[in-house]
Amino acid sequence: MQENINSKTINRYKPGKLEIYGFWGVIKLVYYLIRTKIIVPKARLIRFPIDIRGKKYVDFGQNISIGRGCRIEAYPYLTRDCIISFGNNIEINDYVHITGINKISIGDNVLMASKIYISDSNHGSYKGTDSDSHPESVARLRKVSGAPISIEDNVWIGESVSVLSGVTIGRCSVIGANSVVSKDIPPFTIAIGIPAKPIKRFDFNVNRWVKYDS
């Protein structure tokens, strides 16, 4: 008879790296670790390839882990200060694209799934003012505009999420897969959709997630 495995049993058992990755997978991890310490010494692990542009304007914090195929781009169009800043103990999965011209701040212990897009910038202006970009102008030549992004501590961002300019994601929040964050998300909430809207909040009085009441 198959043994029933409860949550306590799962939490007690910690498989080794050889069991998870196999022999050649472990060799690859060692290779990644050596390259990581050469390129970003304070990082925990980078799985190559990775595309880093404007490295001098990026602060990787400490103990960051980055998956394969990520793009991290900092363009000093508006400032010569640090443009993209990571906190400590951040985990980023594969094919995440982060591009900044203004300021992108990512707090401690943030967890990101794969194929996430985070950008504080836009080609042109579309606000309904006299400074709007004309639709017949060449898109790539339109003046770059943008507003800062803040992702606070302990945020969990799901698969294929887009985070657009000028938003703050409050601490300890969760963004559901395939969502587009175009407005601020309060702390301690779960938000989903296009655009992302809160659907649950954590109620500290009962210690559980409850339906969000705006």
Q: Report the percentage of the chain scoring pLDDT > 90.
A: 78
> Domain check: are 42 and 58 in the same one?
no
The answer to whether residue 4 sits within a structural domain is no
Question: Which range of residues forms the domain containing residue 75?
Answer: 50-211
The count of domains in the chain is: 2
Partnered with residue 53 across adjacent β-strands are 73
Helices (H), the chain: 7-12, 17-39
pLDDT, residue 12, reads: 66
Between 71 and 146, name the one with better pLDDT: 71
pLDDT, residue 5, reads: 47
Q: What's the one-letter identity of residue 71?
A: R
pLDDT, residue 8, reads: 52
> Domain check: are 21 and 55 in the same one?
no
> Domain check: are 113 and 162 in the same one?
yes
Choosing from 8, 12, 127, 134, the catalytic residue is 134
> Domain check: are 62 and 168 in the same one?
yes
| Nearest-angstrom CA–CA distance, 84 and 103 | 6
Structure tokens at 109: 């212990």
Q: Report the percentage of the chain scoring pLDDT > 70.
A: 93
pLDDT at residue 106 greater than cutoff 60: yes
For 128, phi then psi, to 5°, come to: 85, 30
SS3 category, 23: helix
End-to-end Cα separation, the chain, in angstroms: 50
**185-191 long-range Cβ contacts below 8 angstroms, 24+ apart:** 187/152
> Domain check: are 124 and 203 in the same one?
yes
> Domain check: are 104 and 170 in the same one?
yes
> Domain check: are 101 and 162 in the same one?
yes
Could you read off the pLDDT of 111-153 as tens digits, one per residue?
Answer: 999 999 999 998 888 888 888 999 999 998 998 888 999 999 9
Q: Does the global pTM surpass 0.85?
A: yes
Could you read off the pLDDT of 19-62 as tens digits, one per residue?
Answer: 777 888 889 999 999 999 999 999 999 999 999 999 999 999 99
The answer to whether residue 3 sits within a structural domain is no
The answer to whether residue 9 sits within a structural domain is no
**Residue 192 sits in a domain of what CATH number?**
2.160.10.10
pLDDT at residue 14 greater than cutoff 80: no
> Domain check: are 28 and 78 in the same one?
no
The answer to whether residue 2 sits within a structural domain is no
- The helix or strand, by DSSP H or E, that contains position 190, with its residue range, turns out to be strand 189-192
> Domain check: are 91 and 172 in the same one?
yes
Task: For the chain, give the mean pLDDT.
Answer: 92
The string over 78-93, giving b where at least 16 C-beta atoms fall within 10 Å of a residue's C-beta and e elsewhere, is: beeeebbbbbbbbbbb
Among this protein's residues, is 134 annotated catalytic?
yes
